[in-house]
Amino acid sequence: MMAARQSDPRVMPPAAPGVDLFCRVIDNYGDIGVCWRLARCLHQDHGCPVRLWVDDLRAFQHLCRAIDPGLSAQAHAGIDIIHWSGSIPDLEPHDIVIEAFACDPPTSHIARMPGRSKLWLNLEYLATEAWAAGCHGMESPQPDGQRKFFFFPGFLPGTGGILREKTLTRQRQEWQADTAQVRRWLTDLLPHDETARVLLEQPDLQIVTLFCYPDAPVAELLLALGRLPGQILLLVPERVVLPALPATLAPNLHIARIPFLPQPEYDRLLWSADLNLVRGEDSFVRALLAGQPMLWQAYRQDEEAHLAKVEGWLHQTQAPETIRQAWLAWNRPADAGTAEALEQGLRCANRARWHTFFQDFSAYLDGQHDLASALLAFYYKQTALSG
């Protein structure tokens, strides 16, 4: 047997590459939610110096209360944050330049990149369709001779993976193991809702979270929840726009507003619930990682093009038919059959099959490469190829 090779303590590992990450806030929280999480993963898990450029600091502040919208430059959690406005500071580009969702970095920054930046990425939206693996990593030559690459987050091998912190699974397991702590934390979110606080004392209470777009079929959801057995507490973050609610609700259903939570606390909310209804990209991934039964609302597009994303994920995962019908009902305009489809699906959310399905998929994600690690592996591969 060959002796194990000893590492030379005099050889220092290469310094982690610096990253410029550009974000334009179009969907109030989706774009900045992904970018802020990516920035923290790159810095906290991999030691990368990160500079996050954001055009809307007020939207950013809703996700991170420490952000001061009045500052042109600030730092938080070890990350430099620059207000991306008409006038930008003259800063030397980092090794990696990432434009989130084709947001087009400033031309002055692009002009300074040759000879400094080694990789330029266009971070695309989360892809659930089968074609994504074929497009991931494709090159897009630029008129000035620079090379830009498409980077597709996704669930399948051959894509860029999803955002997942190294310690996330342990944190979730420790949180869910302490049910008394969970109930105390939820109660603290509702200081002025005595009905909700009393309900949280019931051990068999079903907790449902709702984070949806304004066009979600909420009235049909309430009908479906009202037909389920047992007491249900529906938690809705502030800033989530709901349609006009019925004058009376089913006696087993109580709706409570909670604060709009920063990302780490929103994770705890998802871990604490029996059922999560989420919207957009970042919350979708976090709900899947939570391993609890869930419904996802994709951002609605013309001619129902968003359904391709929903169908793509359902097909990839071979989701049970009850999940498929409930997800499609949640993503289509309401009709006479919406409430029934949701009710049938949500009844299954209390059965072992739904729990097992989502717990198994969460475990599958734990075993896949994460987006930040895949991004850095792509960087090292490209720099090696370019010499």
Q: Please state the domain extents for the chain.
A: 19-163+370-385, 168-366
273-279 average pLDDT score: 97
pLDDT at 4 over 90: no
Q: Tell me how long the chain is.
A: 387
From the list 342, 335, 333, 281, the residue with the least C-alpha distance to 302 is 333
Q: pLDDT tens for residues 208-234?
A: 999 999 999 999 999 999 999 999 999
**Separate counts of helices (H) and strands (E) for the chain:** 16, 13
Residues assigned a catalytic role: 31, 281
- Residue 387 is predicted with a pLDDT of 63
- Element of type H or E holding 56: none
What band does 386 get if pLDDT is binned at 50, 70 and 90?
confident
pLDDT digits (tens, 9 = 90+) for 84-114: 998 888 899 999 999 999 999 999 999 999 9
Superfamily of domain 168-366: Glycogen Phosphorylase B; (3.40.50.2000)
41-81 pLDDT tens trace: 999 999 999 999 999 999 999 999 999 999 999 999 999 99
| 12: number of Cβ within 10 Å | 7
Q: What is the pLDDT of residues 6-30, one digit of tens each?
A: 444 444 456 899 999 999 998 768 8
Q: Which two tokens stand for residue 301?
A: 């597009």
With tokens 């475990």, the residue in question is 363
Residues 6+ apart with CB under 8 A from 21: 35, 38, 39, 42, 50, 51, 52, 53, 98, 100
* Torsion angle of C-alpha atoms 270, 275, 279, 281, degrees rounded to 10: 60
Summarize the confidence of residues 116-131 as an average pLDDT. Answer: 94
Residue 248 burial by Cβ neighbours in a 10 Å radius (0-12, 13-18, 19+): exposed
pTM: 0.92
